[in-house]
Structure 1
Amino acid sequence: MSRIVSVVVTPIAFRDPPLLNVSGIHEPWALRSIIEVVTEDGRYGLSESYGDEQTLSQLQKVAFRLEGVDVFHLNELKAIIEQCADSEPQQGGIELAPGTNQATTLPRIFAAFEVAFLDLMGKITGRSVCDLLGGKVRDAVPYSAYLFYKYGRHQFSQDGWVDAWGEVLTPEDVVRSARQMIDRYGFQSIKLKGGVFEPERELAAIRALREAFPEHPLRIDPNGGWTPETTKRLMPQIEGLLQYLEDPAPGKDGMAEVHRSATMPLATNMCVIGFFDFPEAITKQSVDVILSDHHYWGGLQATRDLARICETWGLGLSMHSNSHLGISLMAMTHAAAAIGNLSYACDTHYPWQEEEVIVGGKIAFEDGSVRVPDVPGLGVELDRDALKQLAHNYQECGIRSRHDVKEMQKYDSTWTGKVPRF
């Protein structure tokens, strides 16, 4: 009853707004993959992962080897992935999208299947994924309002689609965007994606947010877009404004240099992207907060292990996000609900996405949090019609790998995406 008879990997594409970051701008379509693992009694487990060509190829290689595997045997899954997934010696690194970093290949592919295996384990045993991870320590998981500078529309898209959020380029726009998101979802903390404009302009937006939302903890993430010297120069302006400062400068050395004079915690999802990064980061005292991401840290159980390491070393813990749909949101929620030392509200791009691939449509937020469902598995099921449409989008959109730099060069032919920028 628990042996696998088939695995289906479906690449999908969904609308993505023209969100700006240090590397450039999001393309009109975000790519993901939906993984279905089916057992002999017809039950299926779900997962959501990256949708770039490299990841899809690796997922397919593993999928062909999983027939007959027992879904409770995660060690066998790991062994199969090690045998057939392309990988190179693990090296720490800095990337805007660590999920496509070569160093994360094995944990990334394992995570994609592990979530589906856990979903099936839950359905077979009648327990939630959260229960399989040790049980709830909270009934709902808090998320933050994740703000972006953005254009009002994709100027080079052919179909004229315009997202509902409008242009966000000024401090006033940032406050308006925050108010829209908080009014709609009830978020209790705010994060601004930085590294887009001169730092002083972005800090003006942070000050405007502080005035408009005096009780909301604030964060800014320049994605390594500031030099250590720039960051240290800005410290007097940042004093007292931020809950934490995320990846202001590139690399462990840059972060360590900033850390020596920082007056607030430093967080990262860029210079610590796997367990292999810990020894150097701890030795150099590069960071105070790790932003985990089960998609490239190696799954939900690995996220729980990461939490224990953070607790051991006195580090804070939260979750990083990339463009995603509800299967990923629910996987994040189950993992976060089982972690006692989750220090901060998690990131999520979910409000920026209009489409969905699960039955019932978009997952609801209550006061900025997602409630953990007390049902077997992840608690979500595939909407087959929606999956068919999003798979059609993938076939038609023409995008096969995310490339923020290339998309930005359509707007500015001199754009290089080089970091640090300031």
Structure 2
Amino acid sequence: MKIERIRTYRLSCPLPEILGYAQGRFGSRQALLVQIVTTDGLSGWGEASGPAAMAQCAVNTFYAPKLIGKNPLQTELLWNSMWRASREWARRGPMLAAMSAIDIALWDLKGKAMGLPLCELLGGKTRDRIPCYATGCYFRDLPEADLIPTLIDEARGYVDAGFRAVKVQIGRNLPFDRALAHGLRAALPDTYLLANAHQAYDLPEAMLVGMALQENRFAMFEDPLSLDVPEAYRKLGGKLHIPIAAGRREQTRWGFQGLLDTGGVQMLMPDFAYCGGISEFMKIRAAVSTFGANLVPHVSGTMFSLASALHFLASDFRQPGRAEASVGLLEYEAPDANPLRDAMYKPTIPIEGGSALVPTTAGLGVELDFELLRIFTMEKQEVDAPG
């Protein structure tokens, strides 16, 4: 079995309304899907996070020609071949996102070839369902006095739908963030609350917001500071007792090693579609475990990202561990904020009572509806053997 062709699909889908977060606003969602097809007729799917057009160019012009004719089951060999080919000038950014998409597709294909779901390839399934946290509460074009109750109502809707944990967006300004934290806790006294600041603060601001989150019993403070100032994370972590999370925009084991060495971050959040793919994610997991820390996947893409994270959590062991083991939460973004996740698949991953059911079919356990895929595809490209 050899790789015969590699296809890329650049997708776009408008949102029902303009949404915002600490670093900007968006009215549509984009994604890049990668399909690897073998001479035996099998295919595997992956996706890249970040600028889709740049990642598509990287796959088609740089990586795909190097992979045609190779054995797709040799995931480690192929990952290192791509890494060696690009590390002189492309050790970070969209090139690594392109590698991530290819690697996810190779693992999906490997599972299908072996007749095993991905979680079995990652070490063995330990649970059949994973509790989710709902990610949403994006900013809207409303006066702040109206926006806060709107976001609280949205969060309450997730709880009513069965989610016991909710992640909200902060980083707008200090008075707003404090008021939102207080309002959410008053409205949802028993809900597991998390907050994502999207690297919005400097250190003094992060201290003040972190204290407000602590006072309101938030369970996680994500990306309070820029990843370019890791020393500030150490200082922040020394002052706050709320767990600090970071890493959704970090890549490779070496990038995460820097966060671990500096200290201050208790929860690492690599994204399968950006950090280097499944192969690299597992190496990041090993590095994190040597520090007695834990990681939970960041998920903001399509069903392929969600499935990758779900299979990992179904086979993961928390550190340091105990008989009644805890389990990491699966990030599940609000459907209105991410229609590309649910619109093109048959079937989608079931969510029941706020938990995701782990697929039992081979590979990622996700299949596309090609008629719907065509609707969302802005550009499709294909690379195959020359001649």
Normalising by the smaller structure, the TM-score range is 0.7 to 0.9
Distance in 1, matches of 2:220 and 2:139, equals 23
**1:313 aligned residue:** 291
Relative to its length, the structure with more strand (as a share) is 2
Distance in 2, matches of 1:279 and 1:132, equals 25
Distance in 2, matches of 1:152 and 1:326, equals 28
Instruction: Give the letter for the 1:224 counterpart.
Output: Q
Deviation string 1:246-266 (CA, Å, 9 cap, x unpaired) is 122223122222112112111
Distance in 2, matches of 1:12 and 1:370, equals 25
Q: Among 312, 332, 348, which residue is 1:348 paired with?
A: 332
Shift of 1:86: 7.5
Instruction: Give the letter for the 1:23 counterpart.
Output: Q
8 Å contact from structure 2 (residues 256, 284) kept in 1: no
Q: Among 144, 156, 160, which residue is 1:179 paired with?
A: 156
**1:408 aligned residue:** none
Instruction: Give the letter for the 1:173 counterpart.
Output: T
Instruction: Give the letter for the 1:338 counterpart.
Output: S
Distance in 1, matches of 2:259 and 2:345, equals 42
**1:82 aligned residue:** 83
Distance in 1, matches of 2:208 and 2:145, equals 26
Q: Among 217, 232, 235, which residue is 2:192 paired with?
A: 217
Runs (4 or more) in structure 1 with deviation over 6 Å come to none
**2:166 aligned residue:** 190
Q: 1:200 to 1:316 in 2, by over 3 A?
A: farther
**2:384 aligned residue:** none
Shift of 1:388: 0.7
Taking the TM superposition and a 5 Å limit, the aligned residue runs for 1:2-401 are 2-16=1-15, 17-26=17-26, 28-50=27-49, 52-61=52-61, 62-82=63-83, 85=86, 88=89, 90=91, 103-105=92-94, 107-151=96-140, 170-184=147-161, 186-196=162-172, 198-240=173-215, 241-250=217-226, 251-269=229-247, 272-322=250-300, 324-341=301-318, 344-349=328-333, 351=335, 352-355=337-340, 356=342, 358-360=344-346, 362-392=348-378
TM-score calculated relative to the size of structure 2: 0.85
The secondary structure found in structure 2 opposite 1:38 is strand
Shift of 1:65: 2.9
Q: 1:75 to 1:291 in 2, by over 3 A?
A: closer
8 Å contact from structure 1 (residues 45, 120) kept in 2: yes
- Range 354-363 or range 52-61, more displaced: 354-363
8 Å contact from structure 1 (residues 188, 367) kept in 2: no
Distance in 2, matches of 1:276 and 1:195, equals 28
Distance in 1, matches of 2:81 and 2:257, equals 28
Equivalent residues, number:
364
Shift of 1:376: 1.0
Instruction: Give the letter for the 1:245 counterpart.
Output: F
8 Å contact from structure 1 (residues 206, 218) kept in 2: no
What's the Cα RMSD here?
Answer: 2.6
Distance in 2, matches of 1:391 and 1:44, equals 19
Distance in 1, matches of 2:212 and 2:22, equals 21
Distance in 1, matches of 2:141 and 2:288, equals 40
Shift of 1:142: 2.4
Deviation string 1:309-364 (CA, Å, 9 cap, x unpaired) is 22221213212233x22122112211221211286423333522234454435433
Q: 1:362 to 1:199 in 2, by over 3 A?
A: farther
Shift of 1:129: 1.1
> Percent same amino acid at aligned positions?
22
Deviation string 1:148-198 (CA, Å, 9 cap, x unpaired) is 333269xxxxxxxxxxxxx995321111111223334x22111111112x2
Shift of 1:201: 1.7
Q: 1:41 to 1:149 in 2, by over 3 A?
A: closer
Deviation string 1:188-247 (CA, Å, 9 cap, x unpaired) is 111111112x22322222222222222211111212212211222345433342112112
Distance in 1, matches of 2:8 and 2:258, equals 36
8 Å contact from structure 2 (residues 253, 283) kept in 1: no
